[in-house]
Structure 1
Amino acid sequence: MKYLYIVRGPFGTGKTEFARTITSNVVSCWDYYASHGENKWNEDLKPFADNYCHKQVDTFMQEGREVIAVTNSFSQNSDLDYYYELAEKQGYKVFSLVMDCRDHEEYKRDAPQSVVLKQILNLKNNLTFHHYF
C-alpha cells in the first residue's frame, strides 16, 4: 500500500519537522519559499508555493514513492480536495493530521501573528470529522 500523509496546522507547529520523522519524501511550502530567497513567510509567494506542493506531490506519486508527506496550513477543507483526488487516481491511502505544538516560535519563520491567528480560526471552523456509523 502507498500512503500520503497530509500534515496541516498553523505556521509554527512543526509540521515539516514531524513529517520528516515519517519519510524523506516531504513536500513543504517552505521549500518553495527557500528556493526563492528566504525560508520564511512571503504572502506574495503563497499561491506559487501551493502550486509547487501540488506539482511535487504529483511527481512523487508518478514516481511511485511508497510514502509521501505534504505539509502546509491547509486551513480550509477545500485545500485538501486536490490531494484526495490525486491520491485516489494514483492508488494512495490518505491520512490527514492536524498539528499542535506549544513551542511554536522555533518553527514560525517570521509569519505574522495575524496570519497565524487567521489560520487557527479557519482550521477551527473547517475541521470535519467523518462518521462511519
Structure 2
Amino acid sequence: MPQARPFRQVDVFSKVPFMGNPLAVVLDANGLGDAQMQAIARWTGLSETTFVLAPRDPAADYRVRIFSPEMEFPFAGHPTLGTAHALLDAGMQPKGARIVQECGVGLVQIERSAGGELAFQAPPCTARALAPALLP
C-alpha cells in the first residue's frame, strides 16, 4: 500500500502566491527509490520536485535530490532555495549560521538574511557531453 508523504508546494522568488517559480518539496523522502521519486515528480507536473533525505555528509543539514518530470538533476537554483525555505518553515534548525545542503554537486551553503531572504553561491559549472537522449 502506498505510504503518505508530507510535501509542500512553494512559490520561489515571490512573496505573492501563484506568482513565483512553483516547486514541490517532499519533506521526508527516506525510503523512496529512484522510480518512486520520478513517478512523484511526474505526478506533480511541476518543472522540479525535490526530495529531502537524511544527509550522508555530517557537515550537511539535509540531502536533496531534484527531479523534473523526465529526469534527475544534480543541482538547480530555485529548487535549492525553495527546499531550504520549506524546511525552515517546517521547523528545521540548521546546525550552524548557514544552511548546508548536500546534493549531486556536493555541499551548497545557503545564507539567510535577517529579513529571511535566502541566497547561495552557485557551484562551479562543469562542461560535459550531452546525453545521447538529449540530442536531436
TM class by shorter-chain length?
A: 0.3 to 0.5
Structure scoring higher RCO (CA < 8 A, sep ≥ 6) equals 1
TM (normalized to structure 2)?
Answer: 0.34
- Flag the structure with higher helix content: 1
